[in-house]
Amino acid sequence: MEKYDVFYKSSKDGLFAYLLRMTGDYHLACDLVQESFARYLHRYSNIGQASRSLLYTIARNAAMDAFRKPKTEYFEPEDHADQKNNPEQTVEDRQTYERVLAAIQQMGIFDRELLALLSGADLSYTEIGGIMNISEANVKVKVHRARIRLKEILSDGGK
So where are the chain's domains? 2-156
Which one has a higher pLDDT value, 72 or 95?
Answer: 95
Instruction: Determine the pLDDT at residue 84.
Output: 54
Instruction: Determine the pLDDT at residue 75.
Output: 44
- Structure confidence by residue, pLDDT tens digits, 47-94: 767 788 899 999 998 988 888 876 554 444 444 444 455 777 777 777
| CA nearest neighbour of 81 among 10, 26, 14 | 26
User: Quick check: 118 pLDDT over 70?
Assistant: yes
Using N-to-C axis directions, what is the helix angle for 2-23 and 26-44, rounded to 10°? 140
Q: What is the CATH number of domain 2-156?
A: 1.20.140.160
Convert 48-83 to b/e letters by CB count within 10 Å (16 or more is b): eebebbbbbbbbbebbeebeeeeeeeeeeeeeeeee
Span 7-30, mean pLDDT? 88
pTM of the model: 0.59
Instruction: Determine the pLDDT at residue 121.
Output: 67
- Structure confidence by residue, pLDDT tens digits, 22-45: 888 888 999 999 999 999 888 887
Confidence of residue 135 (pLDDT cuts 50, 70, 90): very high
Contact 19, 59 (CB under 8 A): yes
Give, as one character, the DSSP assignment of residue 134.
Answer: S
- Structure confidence by residue, pLDDT tens digits, 99-112: 888 888 898 888 88
